[in-house]
Structure 1
């Protein structure tokens, strides 16, 4: 994955702001994928090469001007989801059960009405 300069847009603060401001609009799939990458980024066992992929994907997610504007109804986050899933597929070997638990717990905190079966379905679709 070439980052096309997107990694310069990633910071922990900008990521948290994007999640806080756009989670409901982005939906559970996008946010779950982003959270998985976020927690992978924080994992000291994930190598630098994988973290470069993560920062590029999360930078794209954070960037307000991307291929399909995030404010576009229904499709605004579809390109973000594609980039996030592509990155996850590239570094899937580093996704541990602990990373999934952290992402799931945060997802449940953001989406209060999320059911366990919804999370299982997300895991099947996202990873």
Structure 2
């Protein structure tokens, strides 16, 4: 029926960000997959990482950043990271949502720091 509302069941996987995020894991994945992920993904991840390190970034923004970085670090995604051409598209989407949410805390200095770090891997 046209007026009938369909119900969708969604499995929710609860993850504790504190248990799933570590700086070491972040840097290991970034170094390992930098070329495969592409410069845009790497720079956005670095923007968030460096913004999270700043004491001026409020706790709510740091939580948003950690959530995005945890998704980036997870070995399972909506789209597998090893899939050619598509593997990091979902990661980029999550990173971009986080970037837009905390944009006020991503300074030009952070962007420059991320660009320089990415240049080590891409130039």
Please give the TM-score of this superposition, normalised by the length of structure 1. 0.82
1:37–1:73 CA distance, 2 compared to 1 (3 A): same
**Alignment RMSD (CA, Å):** 1.4
The answer to whether structure 1 residue 65 and structure 2 residue 76 are counterparts is yes
Matches within 5 A, 1:2-81: 5=15, 7=17, 8-81=19-92
Return the index of the structure with the highest Cα Rg: 2
Q: Which has the higher helix share?
A: 1
- CA displacement 1:2-39 (0-9 Å, x = unmatched): x9526242110000000111001000111011000010
Match of 2:95 in 1: 84
Task: Kindly report structure 1 stretches of 4+ aligned residues shifted beyond 6 Å.
Answer: none
* In structure 2, distance between residues paired with 1:76 and 1:26: 8
Stretches of structure 1 lacking an aligned partner (at least 5 in a row): 113-127
Please give the TM-score of this superposition, normalised by the length of structure 2. 0.85
Match of 2:10 in 1: none
* In structure 2, distance between residues paired with 1:103 and 1:38: 9
